[in-house]
Amino acid sequence: MGYVTTGLTNGGVTSHYKFSYDESLVGVEPARTNAVIAACENDYNLMAGWFGGGTSVTGMSVQVTTQSNGAGWSGSASSSTIQLKAQGASYSNNPAYLRYLLVAEVVEIFMMAQNIGWFQGSNEGSKGEGLSRFLSSQFLALNGFLGVGMDRDYAVADLWLNSSRQDFVNNAPDDNGYDATNGCTTLFIYYLFSQLGYSINKIIAAGASTLAGVYHNLTGDGSDPFPLFKGILDLWFPSQTSSAVAGPNFDDPWPLLAAAYTGVWRSGSGPYYLWTDADQSHFLNKWQTLASQNMRLTDIEVTTIRGQQLWSGIWEQGTDGYYLWIDADTSHFIAKWSALAAQNLRLVSIKHYDGLWAGVWRQGTDGYYLWVDADESHFLAKWSALAAQNLRLVDFDTYVVNGQRLWAGVWRQGSDGYYLWIDADWSHFVAKWSQLASQNLRLVGVRTYGGLWAGIWRSGSDSYYLWANVSEADFIDKWNALANQNLRLIDMIEVPLDASGAPAGSLAIGEAEAGVSVERLAISEMGGRGVGVSDVVAASPPVGAGVGQGGGDTAEAPSGDGPVGAGLGHGGGDTAEGPSADLSVGAGVGQGGGETAEGPSADASVGAGVGHGGGDTAEAGGNGIAAPAVAPGGNGSRSTSQGLGTGGGDAAVGPAASAETPAGKGGGDVGQTGSEATRSASSEMQGRGAVAKSPSRARRASRTEA
């Protein structure tokens, strides 16, 4: 059959196009093509605007064929023939489909006319094909056509995700097909657009011989962008056989948080709450709201990603006094620590970030200790000395100042078994975790740094769980699932991905156990020996000594170096002495004491930090749930769920363990904050970020885990 113009508006001629259709397309034509004609010049202007207005394409002859599954063109920027192959789909009669195909082809002619690198040789090649698919999908989004069907049927992201994930960012093969190659190129252009925030015009104007070159032109960063791009996708889409980008745009999974999560769980049945990746003001607002619901912050995490400071926290039920102090320099933090100690408030969680400190306090009258800015040897010596005085490490952090790795720790009174394991690679850390579990020692705190891991253990015979190096969505999914098994999150870390695509200072994604549950059923672990008095390491090791390297058991004294990465280990039981005096100058800043009765001193001015405290509240603590009784320690389901309180959103974000009482419903609409029973200075409530603001929406829905 031939191509005709019968019934077409103005004989099918517009400023830039001349349309015709196959004469056998009786019924759908000429109405369908006339609808395209009515919109084509506006669509052309959109494309011309994307290319900066200085590039033009003319003399395009458009033929609507009886073929299916795509389109093609041949010719030059001043004379070309475009064939639209739009039959055979459920949406074939929709003019939007023809407009979509036309845009996909015309932008390729624009690339040729622009001639700055997108077009290569005789066709657009892989990078130009990626741009074509990106721009045609942007056309769909701008015109409200996502959901018609082309967006799903022409998506290519999953083809690359479910492949070996080769690098087509630094390589630009002559490939313009429906395949994994162009899944990579399309995903990367969306990465530039949706993750890094570059406009369509800037992306197009940055044309180069490779997509890595486009990135360099845009950012001025000469490093290789592929590892981080791939690392983020590996984190969020770990499967290479069943990964799927959720709609409405099936080629655009971005933005994705470029950080890996690790969490530690222990048995528990009380109300609970998790709030992740909020800006500081929303975090403080959430903290105040939850305090009024008798929920107490127990762990705090601060992470900086692409210059943005993100705050996360773990809450449990409580009616005791509490305090939060953030953005303090070291001297003011220690001063606040001393003042709050005199009010029977004990530090339970500590975080060093951007040269500042944050701390979480709970009511208590027991012995306590704080030791900060110590090098490793002095930290270990202090840990050993305090262990002999019935002081147990409850939280710690490690950080770098002026090129030197330093350590900080928080101790509270205790006489139970304990263990510290540092400088271990991932495989040795997991091996130690398993070994100590069999000795009735439970992991209570974890950190990763410089490719190594550190953990602290306390005596326990309860259920437990470790979930490491996963995306935010997978972490929240696991948190929901474990809540149903009466397992409560007690510690978490969030590690940004570095330029290599791996979590900075952490294990590489895809390494042994990465992104995989690391778990034991508590019922099978109860036969192991507990750690008793005989396991005490009686003396502090000499400065610089290799302590317990090579994976030694808790009962043994340090016996020299072992394999690199095996870690440094110490364990012990109960003794009887009180805290001793501080170590020598330079060994860290440490102070200890008991309970006194003084009220807080007035805040210092600049650098003093932001503090909030409170006592008992009036609301019932029923916003958490007592999870149903199930076998402890199991995997649980991994069904997707709404991201939990991400980014400061106050949507319905409680865990879905029960339809009766969602945990931590969010919304900031509950009763007043708690009475400040532990404070007298009203000036404490005026810290920066304490005033509630309108919450932003929750950032994203969870993605299905492979």
**Predicted pLDDT of residue 26:** 87
Nearest to 99, CA basis, from 49, 62, 59, 128: 62
Total length of the chain:
706
Give the residue with greater pLDDT, 532 vs 5: 5
CA–CA gap between residue 525 and residue 439 (Å, rounded)? 8
CA–CA gap between residue 248 and residue 25 (Å, rounded)? 31
CA distances 25 to 5, 97, 152, 630, Å, are 12, 16, 25, 63
Range in 109-118, 443-452, 646-655 the model is least confident about = 646-655
Q: What are phi and psi of 671, to 5 degrees?
A: -70, -170
Range in 332-341, 452-461, 587-596 the model is least confident about = 587-596
| Residue spans of alpha helices (H) in 196-329 | 200-205, 211-219, 226-236, 280-291
Is residue 618 pLDDT above 50, yes or no? no
User: Residue 218: in which H helix or E strand, if any?
Assistant: helix 211-219
Compute CA 223 distance to the chain's CA centroid, rounded to the nearest angstrom: 23
Average pLDDT rounded to a whole number, residues 381-388: 95
**Predicted pLDDT of residue 152:** 95
Range in 46-55, 237-246, 559-568 the model is least confident about = 559-568
Token code pair at residue 490: 């007690």
Confidence of residue 349 (pLDDT cuts 50, 70, 90): very high
Confidence of residue 499 (pLDDT cuts 50, 70, 90): confident
Range in 335-344, 407-416, 602-611 the model is least confident about = 602-611
Q: What is the pTM of this model?
A: 0.73
Range in 64-73, 479-488, 574-583 the model is least confident about = 574-583
Is residue 12 pLDDT above 60, yes or no? yes
Is residue 575 pLDDT above 80, yes or no? no
Is residue 343 pLDDT above 60, yes or no? yes
Please, what's the b/e burial string for 347-378 (b: 16 or more CB within 10 A of its CB; e: otherwise)? bbbbbbbeebbbbbbbbbeebbbbbbbbbbbb
Confidence of residue 420 (pLDDT cuts 50, 70, 90): very high
Average pLDDT rounded to a whole number, residues 511-518: 31
pLDDT in tens, 205-222: 999 999 999 999 999 999
The partner residues of 370 in beta bridges, in order of sequence, read 410, 591
Is residue 284 pLDDT above 80, yes or no? yes
Give the residue with greater pLDDT, 525 vs 317: 317
Domain boundaries, the chain: 1-115, 259-686
Highest mean pLDDT among 428-437, 503-512, 531-540: 428-437
CA–CA gap between residue 73 and residue 57 (Å, rounded)? 13
Highest mean pLDDT among 98-112, 524-538, 650-664: 98-112
**Predicted pLDDT of residue 306:** 86
**Predicted pLDDT of residue 504:** 59
pLDDT in tens, 72-103: 999 999 999 999 999 999 999 999 999 999 99
Is residue 366 pLDDT above 90, yes or no? yes
Angle of the 95-114 helix axis to the 125-142 helix axis, nearest 10 = 140
Average pLDDT over the chain, rounded to whole? 76
Is residue 580 pLDDT above 60, yes or no? no
Average pLDDT rounded to a whole number, residues 136-165: 97
Token code pair at residue 172: 């630009």
Nearest to 481, CA basis, from 296, 242, 644, 257: 644
Q: pLDDT > 90: what percent of the chain?
A: 68
Compute CA 489 distance to the chain's CA centroid, rounded to the nearest angstrom: 17
Compute CA 132 distance to the chain's CA centroid, rounded to the nearest angstrom: 30
**Predicted pLDDT of residue 636:** 23
**Predicted pLDDT of residue 54:** 85
Range in 186-200, 231-245, 352-366, 547-561 the model is least confident about = 547-561
**Predicted pLDDT of residue 295:** 97
